[in-house]
Amino acid sequence: MTEGQPRLRAAASGLLAQRGIRVEENELVITTGSQQAIDLTARSILNEGDLVAVERPTYVAALQAFDLNSPRYVSIPVDQEGGQVQKLLEFASSGTLPKLVYLVPNFANPSGACLSLERRVWLARFAVQHGVFVLEDDPYGELRLHGSPLPSIYEIARSTPGAEKWCAYLTTLSKTMSPGLRIGALAGPEQFIDKITLLKQAADLHTSSFNQEVAARYLEGDRLQGRLDLIRREYRERQNCLIDEITSAFGSAMSLLTPEGGMFLWGRFRDGTDTRELLKHAIAAGVIYVPGDCFYVEQPDRSAIRLNFSAAPPEVIRLGVARLKYAHERYLSAFNGSGSSERRLELLGQRVLARVQRST
Ligand SMILES: Cc1ncc(COP(=O)(O)O)c(C=O)c1O
């Protein structure tokens, strides 16, 4: 069945119900990861030249999926309350109303920002008033480490007259159960889901039945809750560790957004460090991150950096930050081109690495 096996669709709608999202079976399709849901949504909605609004910064692989349909982009700046969605009004009045708004409202990749309740409500109303389709991508909502969950835009839209036709919600088991299983779920209005099902039939007929069975059995048991408790506890410790290490290593040279969940910290070098240039030194020092400039559709910020805290335990995070600090010193020294400071940094680097080796 292209739309997914009944057993998994039932389990997935149970999972969404725990998040306060009510979906009927005909409003849900199982996808091969949420990446496929983004791709199919883009194919179902976009024609060449259509406008898509994304956050600034936004999830880079969503752009890859959108790009295949040759759209144009507008971008919405992100602050501590998530995307400044009210900017969409400016686009509406300047004749550049997007056809599709894509956003990650909970602990976004890469910014970690969480869209405020007020902005969620505003966006649901805007969607119906202006006939703009909203794709809400929520892989990280269950990775809340602090504070209380907020209702999804999708659920808000369902209690906003007319808006339910204009919103779709997608999620994945990749960030909680297993990324390799490739199980995602897309919920939306019935007509939209029918179209997605046809497109999915052309793409891969259906998501692996074996993987669907594994996921259904996993969700039917009580394993997910136990796993969530474990990863939240671990990630909280790892996030605190990364914040502390970065703050003590870089002080005021780097500004950090400190999110209430997810997997990432989003930083900005205040000293104008170019993080793509820094990357060469970082790789040489044995640490890696994602340079911020790839997350933009326009005017990339070359001093931004995405740091991950979920993948490594605290002792490895400490090692990584020490290496990053060393790489930054090397970068500054190469940038300033000073021979004597080169020697000084060589010694500093040796000291840092010796400390790191002792601590592991
Ligand atoms: C915002 C966002 N959406 C979608 C995905 C894709 O996840 P999946 O493994 O379910 O395809 C990711 C993965 O990193 C992501 O960060």
- Supply the mean pLDDT for the chain: 94
The verdict on the CB of residue 59 being under 6 Å from ligand 1 is yes
Q: Pick the more confident residue, 353 or 51.
A: 51
Average pLDDT over residues 13-33: 93
- Does the C-beta of 111 come closer than 6 Å to ligand 1? no
Given a contact cutoff of 8 angstroms between Cβ atoms, the answer to whether 330 and 285 are in contact is: yes
Distance CA 343, CA 100 (A): 54
- The stretch 165-184 carries a mean pLDDT of 97
pLDDT in tens, 219-274: 998 799 999 999 999 999 999 999 999 999 999 999 998 899 999 999 999 999 99
**One-letter amino acid identity for 152?**
S
d(CA 119, CA 153): 9
pLDDT for 357 equals 64
Q: Is the CB of 179 under 6 A from ligand 1?
A: yes
> ω into residue 110 within 30 of 0, thus cis?
yes
Helix H segments across the chain? 6-18, 33-45, 60-67, 88-93, 117-130, 153-158, 190-204, 209-220, 223-250, 275-285, 314-336, 339-359
Q: Is 110 helix (H, G, I), strand (E, B) or coil?
A: coil
Q: DSSP state, 263?
A: S
For residue 117, pLDDT over 60 is answered with yes
* pLDDT over threshold 70, residue 356: no
Please report, for residues 8, 73, 175, the alpha-carbon distance to residue 4 in angstroms, rounded to integers and kept in the order given.
7, 32, 20
pLDDT tens track for 336-345:
765 445 555 5
Instruction: Report the candidate in 94, 87, 96, 102 with the shortest Cα–Cα distance to residue 55.
Output: 102
- Among 39, 41, 172, 182, name the best residue to mutate to test ligand 1's pocket (greatest count of ligand atoms within 8 A of Cβ): 172
Q: In what order do the strands lie in the sheet with 133-137?
A: 28-31, 184-187, 167-172, 133-137, 100-103, 51-56, 72-79, 82-83
Q: Check if the beta carbon of residue 254 is closer than 8 Å to that of residue 333.
A: no
**Ligand 1 centroid – CA 186 distance (Å):** 13
- pLDDT band of 190, cuts 50, 70, 90: very high
| Token pair for 138 | 């929520």
Instruction: Provide the pLDDT for residue 25.
Output: 78
Q: What percentage of the chain reaches a pLDDT higher than 70?
A: 93
Helices (H) and strands (E) in the chain, counts: 12, 12
pLDDT value at position 339?
47
Q: Which atom of ligand 1 is nearest to the CA of 32?
A: 11
Residues in the chain: 360
Helix, strand, or coil (residue 55): strand
Q: For the chain, how far is it from start to end, CA to CA, in angstroms?
A: 50
Q: For residue 208, what is the DSSP state?
A: -
The yes-or-no verdict on residue 129 having pLDDT over 90 is yes
Report whether pLDDT(347) > 80.
Answer: no
pLDDT at 222: 79
Q: Is 104 close to ligand 1, i.e. is its CB under 6 Å away? A: yes
What secondary structure does DSSP assign to 2-19, as a single string? TT--HHHHHHHHHHHHHT
Q: For 269-324, what is each residue's pLDDT tens digit?
A: 999 999 999 999 999 999 999 999 999 999 999 999 999 999 999 999 999 999 99
Instruction: Report yes or no: 170 and 187 within 8 Å, Cβ to Cβ.
Output: yes
CB neighbours of 54 closer than 8 A, spacing ≥ 6?
62, 63, 66, 73, 74, 75, 76, 101, 102, 103, 297
Residue 64 Cβ contacting ligand 1 at under 6 Å: no
Count the Cβ atoms, other than its own, within 10 Å of residue 148. 6
Region 99-120: what's the mean pLDDT?
A: 98
The pTM assigned to this predicted structure is: 0.92
Rounded average pLDDT over 120-140: 97
